[in-house]
Structure 1
Amino acid sequence: MSETSRIDAFKQLQRTLQQKYYLMSVLEFDGETVAPENGAAARAEAMGALAGEMHELTTSDASVRLVAELEADAAAGTLDAQTATELHVFSRDQREARAIPTEEEIAWSKLTSEANAVWHHAKLADDWASFEPYVERIVDACRRRAEALDPARDAYDVLLDQYERGMDTAAYDAFFAQVKETVVPLVREIAPQPAPDLPFRSARVDRAAQLAIARDLLELEGLVMDGCAVAEVEHPFSDGFAPGDVRVTTHIYETDALSNVFSILHEGGHAIYEQNVDPAYAWTCLDGGTSMGIHESQSRFFENIVGRSRAFAEPLLAVLRKHAPEVYSSVSADDLYRAANLAHPQLIRMEADELTYPLHIMIRYDIERALFAGEARVADIPTLWRELTRRYLGLDVPNDTLGCLQDTHWSGGSFGYFPSYALGSAYGAQYVDAMERAGIDVDGASASGDLAPVRDWLRDRIWRWGRGKDAPELIAGACGAPFDATYYCDYLVKKFSALYNL
């Protein structure tokens, strides 16, 4: 086989895998949005079959030989730059996939699909007991998978690395220690201050108006709406399915419209990243975001650094007044800014303010660490959650729906994911410094409602690279220096000290 034929075969292999991923994504989205409850078993079986096909295709003898031959071409320097990058990423994916037997991959897909359906019911019914056996099986499977991927490393370190290359417990421990040193004193200083009287925060805004607000905010962020679907779910998420197809979801609370506002800005940040990967990467392994930390840096950037800024309050208020004038016509931009940044501990992570949010992540991180260190059992999770919520947030957890059942991530097997939320927030603060050094007025763009300068910077330095660069290389290239949490800590101190006259 000639080199040209090998490259053609490699491109077709990637395309076929991406097509199957598209089908898998559609099934998952359907299950979260419109599928009937009784269809969960059939969907799990179909997803398991697809997962098995993808795994076998990736790890087949023919695929392994093809990659080996192309690696020889790469060593000889005859591959073009993009194909060489595809090969680098695909060969890593293949090595990791080969560590997991196909039957294990099929079982994993079925288990997590079934667990997600059980979680939905358990959360609404406050029924941890029905969900616990699934978490037990998922944690055991995570241990086996980590052992297979790298038996020489701590299992939780292996899982953390899957979501953010190069990160481990030592790195996260140092990061969280620095953040805690900043956040805890601020929360304590703010706590005695009385909450301002902002009755519009709980005013009723009906579902239709909120969905219209969501679509306008996605357009304001810069999404191509012909390539974006919006749906309602229990736990908001977004996904890039394929070129021209991203999906964004939200949860509507008619007496808490700002929940929808910041949820949609968050999920829109994920989606705009997926929409702006280099088109040349379509249907290859380079399409999509490179890591969850980088992905969360986009969502948290648009939700918080832009969305909750004083500068953005005027454009945001214009959208709210357009669709709910009866509520927002007499609201000032200053009051909206204050409402968007009320810093007080609460039980639900997704509704948490920007300052206390990382404390929610620490709760989950501590529980995950304890589980994989053998210091806790899955049965201990509800008690641990209550203890850590009291320690970090000073709150009592009245039930598991508001505690350990509030997030969907563990039902999908995403142990190691949660720390990337806090890391993404910190990445975003470092982006701002780099943007300003490049002459970009982030506040000016936010105030004008024209975020094009911000998008252009992110597209050039982050989005277009897809999976072609890992997080450390992206951050160093975009910011001119390695990741440093000091930017995030300084940002929080400056913002909340001014807000609360500290």
Structure 2
Amino acid sequence: MGESPTMATNDLTTRFRELEHKLWTREYLMKITSFDGATVAPENSAASRGEALGTLSGEHHELLTGTEAQELLGELTAAVKAGDISDPQLLAEIRTLARDQREACVIPTEEAEEWTRLTCESQAVWHKAKTTNDWVSFEPYIDRLVETLKRHASYIDSTRDPYDVWLDQYERGMNAAAYDRFFDQVRETVVPLVHAISERGEQPDAPWLTAHVSDAVQRELSYDLMKLMGLAPADTTLAFTEHPFSEGFSVGDARVATHIYEDNVLSNVYSIIHESGHASYELGVNPAYARTCLEGGTSMGIHESQSRFFENTVGRSRAFMGPLLGVLRAHAPEVYGDVTEDELYRAANIATPSLIRTEADELTYPLHIMLRYDIERMLFSGEATAKDVPALWNKLVKQYLGLDVPNDAQGCLQDIHWSESFGYFPTYALGSAYDAQYVPAMQRDGVNLDDVCASGDLTRALEWLRTNIWQWGRGKDAAELVEGACGAPFDATFYCDYLARKFSELYKL
């Protein structure tokens, strides 16, 4: 007598869970190694780290794409079609891992390993190049990365533009045509506001913005800010690096990395608040998804919507200035003791073109993304190569922001992203637009965000995000999440209206 359908399905499920755990283990080790490399590892560790990461990446790729895994997913997919599997979580896991497998299968294992080694090496070169203002040393990596990604894109879908393939990988359903429409709409709102502020707006006088706050004090302040944003010390840790970032390792384990400038404490403050949004998302995934393919954020746009929500919608709101000022006064009373909430609000929302994306104000920020998007498209279309990037960068900064770029460290070398990815940057602007649509949805569900922010207890807002966004992990794509949370498809009008209203009021336009 053969196995019953239930027994056969249980066996498949057991093997599937074993595969997921093996994949997760290698992902966890790669994340730990990469986080170490960006924070505390010595300069000369890059070669060994790259070798280790390459091996782990190869093992992960072979596990995911090997004959045994393909046969297993095939049997599970057949069981789903036959109606033998009904558990919603298992169905989501099968659907998600099957897609991961389809896309990974087209990349040969040796190329997956080589890609990991290349990005590890390029990241190490970028760190040194930025410090020494040496674009020439980093330049060859741009061309190698772009050519590799174009080749990999042809493996995934040779009928599509390579850049569209990668835009879709970071945000399912997005391509250059969709981003063009989005950026056109945002540009029509932002550019006139920037010009009006330049011509008629009065900037606040806030000399305390550049007051000295020591490294030691800022480190202590950082931990209290993380607590204010709702992060539990038992779930998180803090590290220090050149380029702030965060990483979710597993349920109950997220890491935040910030930078400290002793004459610009708000840079650290808003880096911490921003990265706390990323970390909270990772920590808020349904615990039942732990060590499965559903663990983690679903897309870069949704991830950025969380960090930008924390940083801007909450962190730069007038209502939040009381709780924020309380933390600042506790650690730097000599600087913030006499600063009022209104003064902090105006200073935290100064809108003026600047060179550094991560320091950019909320209004001009999307212009920084647009110029990177323009350059990425030119690199992928063949209109430009790496040697053209510094001149293109300087030209576009002048066009979009009206500024002259003094050096490459403050220009095309400022971001780490081009040492490891292309097609990611547009999601930063898209995330900001997603988050603007959350606020009226919260209000509809009885969460008054101003009241929550003023109280200094963000629990109600965080619970709304946990229920509508975080808990789903990779189980839902961005479009489905936004429509489910907001009751309507994504609409950039919410974002444009928010920017117009906020900055017109701030600058009395």
Residue 392 of structure 1: aligned partner: 400
Residue 130 of structure 1: aligned partner: 137
* 1:154 maps onto 2:161 in alignment: yes
Counterparts of 2:328 and 2:70, CA distance in 1: 54
Q: Give the partner amino acid of 2:102.
A: R
Residue 35 of structure 1: aligned partner: 41
Counterparts of 1:363 and 1:123, CA distance in 2: 19
Counterparts of 2:119 and 2:37, CA distance in 1: 12
Counterparts of 2:240 and 2:362, CA distance in 1: 23
How many Å apart are 1:274 and its aligned residue? 0.3
Residue 410 of structure 2: aligned partner: 402
Residue 256 of structure 1: aligned partner: 264
Residue 78 of structure 1: aligned partner: 84
* 3-state SS in 2 of match to 1:401: helix
Residue 471 of structure 1: aligned partner: 478
Residue 384 of structure 2: aligned partner: 376
Can you list the C-alpha shifts for 1:276-302, whole angstroms capped at 9, x where unaligned? Answer: 100000000000000000000000000
Cα contact 2:243–2:416 (8 A) shared by 1: yes
Match of 1:183 among 185, 190, 211: 190
Residue 64 of structure 1: aligned partner: 70
**TM-score, length-scaled by structure 2:** 0.98
How many Å apart are 1:194 and its aligned residue? 4.2
How many Å apart are 1:210 and its aligned residue? 1.0
* 1:331 maps onto 2:339 in alignment: yes
How many Å apart are 1:218 and its aligned residue? 1.1
Residue 93 of structure 1: aligned partner: 100
Residue 140 of structure 1: aligned partner: 147
Cα contact 2:239–2:257 (8 A) shared by 1: yes
Q: Give the partner amino acid of 1:305.
A: T
Q: Give the partner amino acid of 1:426.
A: A
* 3-state SS in 1 of match to 2:423: coil
Counterparts of 2:152 and 2:217, CA distance in 1: 45
* 3-state SS in 2 of match to 1:385: helix
Can you list the C-alpha shifts for 1:53-74, whole angstroms capped at 9, x where unaligned? Answer: 0000000100000000000111
Match of 2:356 among 324, 348, 353: 348
* 3-state SS in 2 of match to 1:316: helix
Residue 318 of structure 2: aligned partner: 310
* Number of residue pairs aligned between Structure 1 and Structure 2: 501
How many Å apart are 1:440 and its aligned residue? 1.1
Residue 292 of structure 1: aligned partner: 300
Residue 103 of structure 1: aligned partner: 110
Cα contact 2:251–2:285 (8 A) shared by 1: no
Can you list the C-alpha shifts for 1:1-60, whole angstroms capped at 9, x where unaligned? Answer: 821111011011101111111110111011111111111100000000000000000001
Counterparts of 1:278 and 1:194, CA distance in 2: 47
* 3-state SS in 1 of match to 2:408: coil
Match of 1:483 among 464, 469, 490: 490
Counterparts of 2:128 and 2:143, CA distance in 1: 17
Counterparts of 1:295 and 1:229, CA distance in 2: 19
Residue 45 of structure 1: aligned partner: 51
Q: Give the partner amino acid of 1:15.
A: H
Superposed CA RMSD in Å reads 0.8
Counterparts of 1:212 and 1:486, CA distance in 2: 39
Counterparts of 1:416 and 1:197, CA distance in 2: 38
Counterparts of 2:383 and 2:444, CA distance in 1: 46
Stretches of structure 2 that go unaligned for 5 or more consecutive residues are none
Deviation larger for 201-210 or 401-410: 201-210
Q: Give the partner amino acid of 2:364.
A: T
Match of 2:423 among 394, 416, 424: 416
Counterparts of 1:310 and 1:283, CA distance in 2: 40
Counterparts of 1:29 and 1:374, CA distance in 2: 33
Match of 1:13 among 13, 19, 26: 19
Q: Give the partner amino acid of 1:120.
A: H
How many Å apart are 1:196 and its aligned residue? 2.0
* 3-state SS in 2 of match to 1:226: coil
How many Å apart are 1:243 and its aligned residue? 2.1
